[in-house]
Structure 1
Amino acid sequence: MTDITYYELPGCPFCAMVRSKLEELDLQYETVDVPAAHHERTRVKEVSGQTGVPVITDEVNGVRGMPESSDIVEYLEKTYGDE
């Protein structure tokens, strides 16, 4: 089991940006593909309180349901990037 869970919609350019950062940093993560219809995104809504993607959780660092691709990329760089 990994500590990071990544919620994405395949084909979403904002999700692709986060996935690229996760891969660039060589992080292990679980991917959860969400449905295209917002009303069917119950799992991501339970985690983040909204239906937009991308969203990540990071159990080790107490991050639960972080939305917004730019915020996620910044968080990943700050937390896991070279210092």
Structure 2
Amino acid sequence: MREPQITLYRLQACPFCERVVRLLDAYDLSYRSRYVEPMHSARDVVKRVSGARSVPAIVDRETGVTMSESGNIVAYLEQTYGSTAADGGS
């Protein structure tokens, strides 16, 4: 089985994280959720990956992109995968 192309760093019950999850599901993108520490200062794994401790954060192995902040992630997913999903890849 192939490893998912996207890793999503998130918090349990985080509305910003859920916004990203809904879009990943809508575009049928394979992803792996990594739940992180609720305490901001303890999110060292996210800091190592994205340079910031904020969530959500994603790593897209397909494109080499790493980013955080839900608005940025949503815009990236729409730009990168949205038109492909909408028009069948043409």
TM-score of Structure 1 vs Structure 2, range by shorter chain = over 0.9
Matches within 5 A, 1:4-43: 4-43=6-45
Q: Which runs of 4+ in 1 moved over 2 A?
A: none
Unaligned runs of 5+ in 2: none
Partner of 2:74: 73
Q: Return the letter of the residue paired with 1:39.
A: S
Give identity over the alignment, percent. 46
How many residues align? The count is: 82
CA–CA separation in structure 2 for the residues paired with 1:32 and 1:52: 13
Aligned-pair Cα RMSD in Å: 1.0
Unaligned runs of 5+ in 1: none
Partner of 1:60: helix, strand, or coil? coil
The structure, 1 or 2, with the larger RCO (C-alpha pairs under 8 Å, 6+ apart) is: 1
The Cα of 1:45 is off from its aligned counterpart by 0.6
The Cα of 1:39 is off from its aligned counterpart by 2.0
Q: Return the letter of the residue paired with 1:71.
A: N
The Cα of 1:15 is off from its aligned counterpart by 0.6
Q: Which has the larger radius of gyration?
A: 2
Q: Return the letter of the residue paired with 1:53.
A: V
The correspondence for 2:53, drawn from 45, 51, 54, is 51
TM-score by length of 2: 0.85
Partner of 1:30: helix, strand, or coil? strand
TM-score by length of 1: 0.92
Partner of 2:32: helix, strand, or coil? strand
